[in-house]
């Protein structure tokens, strides 16, 4: 099948009415009164963000969920997304069929609609770009830059699992199954994020590693973030040493957990909502005026070579 036949057979059935049934050059939707729109774009590339030998439905879900995590970081609710895929012609027929199945499942789970996009051929690798749109009540969007002195610092979930899964992706030991699933299938904290919208002062999702993203949050507010490393929620895979698990938590990427600050007075509210959502949420430190933009522990900077794209 050519480009248009693939779109008609596999992507048209999962598109929304706003997409104009993929028949025009653009989608049309009417903004809702009382809401602000949040727009984000993210790309995943074969051999960098995924191996390429995964089932295409898992690749689809990872592509969509990494973008959903960006919305969660701003307390936005999912609305729409557009999709661009470049892939080798020889892979197109089999890949798109199963890829669209994964998209359909996650569209239902996260209540998000496909607006349209683009499908093109590439020479040898798959590249997927998603432009995502979410909404928040007007004036309620959370940014990275509003942390205040004495705020508490929290993180959701366990850190380092995805990195451990990647490093042990070819091992058949069942002890790594949870970690590998975390790598293949991120869990964007959309529902929890919306529920704490009124209690959070700043937030970011952890995609490039805890230390690096924590540093982004600290620099955005021009404050020092003090971490109690003993409280950091790391993996309990005892086949690995504590140092290995801590290192994965500190610099391993692809966690897609939320790191956020909140005033002390909201501690009970946040703990209650964590229970409601059956989500582990850990107070790992606090914010102070001091070494602006630094992440410290025991009065020393946490100085580890974090992941960088370039």
In total, how many domains does the chain have?
2
**Is residue 307, in this structure, part of any structural domain at all?**
no
283 with 160, same domain: the answer is yes
CATH of the domain at 116: 3.30.1330.10
Distance CA 41, CA 95 (A): 22
Distance CA 216, CA 156 (A): 17
133 with 185, same domain: the answer is no
**Is residue 269, in this structure, part of any structural domain at all?**
yes
Phi, psi at residue 262, to the nearest 5°? -155, 145
Contact 201, 148 (CB under 8 A): yes
**Is residue 142, in this structure, part of any structural domain at all?**
no
pTM score > 0.85 for this model? yes
Which of residues 112, 137, 162 is at a domain's end? 137
CATH of the domain at 255: 3.90.650.10
Bridge partners, 38 (sequence order) = 134
Nearest to 257 by CA among 231, 279, 227, 228: 279
Look up the domain containing 239 and give its range: 152-301
Which of residues 87, 107, 137 is at a domain's end? 137
Which of residues 78, 108, 137 is at a domain's end? 137
Distance CA 60, CA 101 (A): 8
Would you write out the chain's pLDDT as a tens digit for each of its 310 residues?
A: 777 787 877 788 878 878 777 777 788 888 889 999 999 999 999 998 888 889 999 999 999 999 999 999 999 999 999 999 999 998 888 999 999 999 999 999 999 999 999 999 999 999 999 999 999 999 999 999 999 999 999 999 999 999 999 999 999 889 999 999 999 999 999 999 999 999 999 999 999 999 999 999 999 999 999 999 999 999 999 899 999 999 999 999 899 999 999 999 999 999 999 999 999 999 999 999 988 999 999 888 886 654 443 3
């Amino acid at each position: 099948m050519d480009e248009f036949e693939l779109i008609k057979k596999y992507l048209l059935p999962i598109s929304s009415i706003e997409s104009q049934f993929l028949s025009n050059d653009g989608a049309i939707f009417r903004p809702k009164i009382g809401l602000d729109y949040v727009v984000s774009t993210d790309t995943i590339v074969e051999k960098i963000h995924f191996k390429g030998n995964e089932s295409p439905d898992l690749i689809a879900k990872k592509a969509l969920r990494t973008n959903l995590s960006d919305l969660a970081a701003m307390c936005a609710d999912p609305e729409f997304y557009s999709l661009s895929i470049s892939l080798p012609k020889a892979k197109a027929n089999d890949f798109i069929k199963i890829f669209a199945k994964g998209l359909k499942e996650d569209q239902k789970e996260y209540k998000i609609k496909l607006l349209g996009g683009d499908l093109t051929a590439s020479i040898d690798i798959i590249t997927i770009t998603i432009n995502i749109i979410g909404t928040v009540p007007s004036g309620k969007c959370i940014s990275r830059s509003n942390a205040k002195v004495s705020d508490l610092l929290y993180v959701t979930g366990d850190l380092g699992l995805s990195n451990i899964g990647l490093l042990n992706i070819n091992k058949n030991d069942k002890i790594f199954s949870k970690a590998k699933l975390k790598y293949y299938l991120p869990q964007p904290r959309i529902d929890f994020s919306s529920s704490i919208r009124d209690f959070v002062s700043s937030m970011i999702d952890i995609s490039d590693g805890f230390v690096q993203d924590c540093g982004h949050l600290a620099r955005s507010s021009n404050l020092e973030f003090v971490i109690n490393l003993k409280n950091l929620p790391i993996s309990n895979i005892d086949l690995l040493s504590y140092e290995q698990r801590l290192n994965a938590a500190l610099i391993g990427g692809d966690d897609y957990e939320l790191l956020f600050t909140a005033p002390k007075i909201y501690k009970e509210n946040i703990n209650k909502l964590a229970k409601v959502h059956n989500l582990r949420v850990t107070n790992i430190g606090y914010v102070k005026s001091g070494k602006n933009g630094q992440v410290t522990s025991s009065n020393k900077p946490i100085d580890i070579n974090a992941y960088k794209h370039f």
